[in-house]
Amino acid sequence: MVEAVDSGSKPLLSPDGIRTDGRKIDEMRKVKMEVGLLKNCSGSAYIEQGKTKIIVAVHGPREAHPKHLAQPGRAILRTRYHMAPFSTSDRKSPAPSRREIEITKVIREALEPAVMLDEFPKTSIDVFIEVLQADAGTRSAGITAAALALAEAGIPMRDMVAAVAVGKLEGRVVMDLNEEEDEHGQADMPVAMMPNVNRITLLQLNGRLTRAELEEGLSMARRGVDQLYEMQKQALREKYTSSESAQEED
Amino acid sequence: MSDAIVVPGEEVGVAEQYVPEGLVYELNGILRSSGVGRVLKDDVKHIIKIQRQGKKLQVPSKGERVYAVITDAKPKMVTADIVGKPAKSYGSPFVGLIPVSMISSQRIDAADNYFVPSDIILAEVVNERSPFILSTKADECGVVFGRCRSCGDVLESTGRGLVCRNCGLRDERKLSSNYLIRSSQEAPQSERRDVKRQDHRHGDYRKKYRRQ
């Protein structure tokens, strides 16, 4: 006789604060960042956050098409968040879903305050975010990688943008949810910040948090953003300290 | 110059001490980098800027010589697609405008007499932002490759204008001193005055002309 496995009965957090994947409550998944992988775009970046894998390409500034979209005093920032058909366990239709359209919008709004769009009137800057493998936290990882790709493209920015999700498991606030925690947890709150100018550019909440939990979550997100920002700096410095790429490329 | 590479948002100085220039901006009295690069501080002039590392933005900049393809020519204004600069092409073209006053240092009545759609020109960018204003006043600036208004064949420079190598039509452009296609009959500069215009007519156009 085969016993039915009840995944709901398995605790997501042990009494001593250890999660199912062995992390502590304020520990992020392992993050890997790389810059400048693609040659046919202005800037590109790759991020791995746990099992989430995302590649981002930036084009621009270039003439805005169709022309009626062009703004006389600034560039327009266009984003495209897309999950590859093989990024999920079930095949995902390549057509843009309602969720992808929403995430496209929130990512654009998270990046816009950081990019100096008024430097390039009547042009467009296009950010393509392609999720290769999804394991929760794709919008936040996408924002972190998009900021890296924009910086690599040489587009002037007020600050980098880094994002991380905090959530609630078994009544406790935790950082950087994975797929299982995202699915069965009590809350999920992605937060994007400009770490130097200390500005929040994205704050969403799925679920319920008390005021104290919200404050705890924000301070935890801040610590996560600081860690990610250090990794972003490291990735950019590694790219430009090598002798070949140190000079300004034509 | 500092060896450390700064990234956007990093503090590089204070407004009391330095004047921000390229890739440095001021926010609440603090000077921050807006790009990836090395910090250059001039303690005599009190200027701070960032020397960009890596890719340069593929956008025309003021004073740059660019190649453009004429897309429309009207008496007062010519529009062109800026496709690249010498040895580098932009990913997608930018719109450039050439007002009639920017074509030549001499007076010109109608811009469309000097440029035809499809002409490839070398021009200088005179402003920073889109739409880019182009000037062809310099000797090296102007049409570097043109086609016949009548038959579409290549126009050859004879030293005294342009002649279609197919139909023999004579045409006029604001020519660059580096026009690409030169006639084999092109006379050296010193002998040009002695060459008769009719000598450069050849092909079907000349035969047709004679019959009439």
What is the model's pLDDT at position B62? 92
Segment A181-215, tens digit of pLDDT = 999 999 999 999 999 999 999 999 999 999 999 99
3-state SS, chain B, equals CCCCEECCCCEEEECCCCEECCCEEEECCEEEECCCEEEEEECCCCEEEEEECCECCCCCCCCCEEEEEEEEECCCEEEEEEEEECCEEEEEEEEEEEEHHHCCCCCCCCHHHCCCCCCEEEEEECCCCCCEEEECCCCCCEEEECECCCCCCEEEECCCCEEECCCCCEECCCECCCCCCECCCCCCHHHHHHCCHHHHCCCHHHHHHHHC
Give tens-digit pLDDT for A60-116.
Answer: 899 998 989 999 889 999 999 999 999 999 999 999 999 999 999 999 999 999 999
A11 CB within 8 Å of a chain B CB: no
Calculate helix-pair angle for A211-241, A138-152, nearest 10 degrees: 30
Nearest 5°: phi and psi at A139?
-70, -40
User: By CB neighbour count within 10 A (0-12 exposed, 13-18 middle, 19+ buried), where does B187 fall?
Assistant: middle
Task: Tell me if B92 and A151 make a contact (CB, 8 A cut-off).
Answer: no
Taking the Cβ of residue A151 and every Cβ of chain B, the question of whether any pair is shorter than 8 Å is answered with: yes
- List, in order of start, the domains of chain A with CATH numbers: 31-244 (3.30.230.70)
A window 96-125, beta carbon within 8 A of B: 114, 116, 120-123
**Cα A178 to Cα A169: distance, rounded to the nearest angstrom:** 12
Spatial contact of A148 and A228, defined as CB atoms under 8 Å apart: no
Across residues B164-169, what is the average pLDDT? 90
Which residue type does B46 have?
H
Q: Which residues pair with B12 in a beta bridge?
A: none
Q: How confident is the model at residue B1 (pLDDT cuts 50, 70, 90)?
A: low
Taking only the tens place, the pLDDT of each residue in A13-49 is: 888 889 999 999 999 999 999 999 999 999 999 999 9
d(CA B43, CA B45): 6
Residue A247 pLDDT class (50, 70, 90 cuts): low
Cβ atoms within 10 Å, residue B159: 16
- Cα A144 to its chain centre, rounded Å, is 4
CB of A153 within 8 Å of any CB in chain B? yes
Tell me how far CA of residue B196 lies from CA of A92, B165, B185, B193, in angstroms.
74, 17, 12, 8
